[in-house]
Structure formats: structure tokens, C-alpha cells
Amino acid sequence: MKRVAFILKVKQDKIEEYKEHHRNVWPEVNEALKRNGWHNYTLFMRPDGMLFGYFEAPVSFEACLEGMAKEPASLKWQEFMKPYFEALDGKRPDQSMLELKEIIHHE
């Protein structure tokens, strides 16, 4: 299992609304995540909106993203969430996730 970490930046004035939407993620999006290998998916956020995401993937981050890009519910969710993020340059949030490289892991 590969550990995956990524960052995105939520707009300061949208943080509370963003959190509320994530307390109520659409069930079909959760099902798509499971189908596409997003295990132990967790989001963390600093007070300034810097978002750190973590999940465990059976293959790779790219493979998980490619799978989600084929899911209609995921594409709809990504478009819905697009206004909440900074610096997307016209892309969907899932196309703008900056993967962090693992440096060290202790068990």
C-alpha cells in the first residue's frame, strides 16, 4: 500500500462552508473513492486554509486520480468544489493536488 499526501489551498472566506460540505460528502462520491482505492482518506487544514490530504492507495496517486476522473459523481463534486480553492488556473481541484513525496516513515 502506498501512502499518498497532497496539498491544496482553500480560500480564507470559504473555509467554514468547505468544512460543512465535507461533513456531508455525497454518498456516491464516497462510494467512488472506495472503488478507486482511496483508503484511510483524511483531510487536515491549517487556520489559513492550507489543506493537507492523506490516503493509502493500492497502486499510485495517479491511478487513483485516473479512476476518479471516470466517475460522474466525482466530476460533478469536483466542479461543485472548484470555487472553494485558490490557484486552480481553470483546472478542477483533483487536477491541482500537489503530491508530496514521502521522506521517512516510522512504524
List active site positions: 22
Neighbours of 3 (CB within 10 A): 13
Specify the DSSP class assigned to residue 6. E
| SS3 call for 71 | coil
